[in-house]
Amino acid sequence: MSSSSDFQQDRHSFSGSPEKWNDFELPGDTLYYRFTSDMSNTEWGYKFTVTVGHLGRFQTGFEILKQMLSEERVIPHLPLAKIWEWQVGVACRQTGHQRLKAIHLLLKIVQCSTQGDCDLTLLKPLWQLFTHMENNLCHDMAKPGILLPLHRALAELFFVTENRVTELGCLQEYLLALNTEDHLHRCTAQ
């Protein structure tokens, strides 16, 4: 993929499994791509999503929010509930490094929030992703190893969040909100 028809400017090449693909931004209003198959297997090909009008917005927004959340004197003036809602949405929609950066900001918000600042039940989709990763890790004992960066980031987010809601005295409500009734029944049965 490139921003020029000769594939010389802003070139990004990908091959293999989706885990090897990274999000990237191209300047301009045109994307050129070329798909070439070596006929080594019979998969259908690749799928990618193009979003327009985001030149530098994610990285710029991330840096600004990270700096603002690092300034103790600024935090009381921030609409933390709204920022929390936006960042949870970003963490759920994005992939790769952008998702990790959104989780990093969520972690900073949890650490500086007070009771009522953040609707922690919005974390439910990320909790489901985390528990899915945990379940796959438990079933794959044949390959013990290092956790993926996303798995580590989610583990830290939920560890810190659990400690924070314990301090605020609302752990039970938080845990009930994140889990489905079916999951709670299975845990009780175990």
In a domain, 188, yes or no: no
Amino acid at 190: Q
The CA distance from 130 to 124, in Å, is 10
Q: Is residue 185 part of a domain?
A: no
Q: Which helix (H) or strand (E) holds 98?
A: helix 96-112
Evaluate whether residue 30 is within a structural domain: no
Inter-residue contact 133 to 151 (CB < 8 Å): yes
147-106-51 Cα angle (round to 5): 85
19 domain-assigned:
no
Q: Are 110 and 118 in contact (CB under 8 A)?
A: yes
83: which 2 tokens?
């920022």
Provide the number of structural domains found in the chain: 1
> pLDDT per residue over 26-37, tens digit each?
766 788 888 887
Q: Which domain does 127 fall in, by range?
A: 57-179
Model confidence at 182, pLDDT cuts 50, 70, 90, reads confident
Does residue 34 belong to any structural domain of this protein? no
pLDDT higher than threshold 90 for residue 177: no
Percent of the chain with pLDDT over 90: 29
Whether residue 190 is contained in a domain is answered as no
Please tell me the chain's helix, strand, coil percentages from 3-state DSSP, rounded to the nearest 5: 55, 0, 40
Phi, psi of 80 (to 5 degrees): -55, -40
On whether residue 72 sits in a domain, the answer given is yes
Q: Is 120 domain-assigned?
A: yes
In the chain, the percentage of residues whose pLDDT exceeds 70 is 89
- What 3-state class would DSSP assign to 2? strand
pLDDT digits (tens, 9 = 90+) for 27-78: 667 888 888 877 777 777 777 777 766 545 677 788 889 999 999 999 989 9
Q: Report the pLDDT value the prediction gives residue 52, as an integer from 0 to 100.
A: 67
pLDDT the model gives residue 71: 92
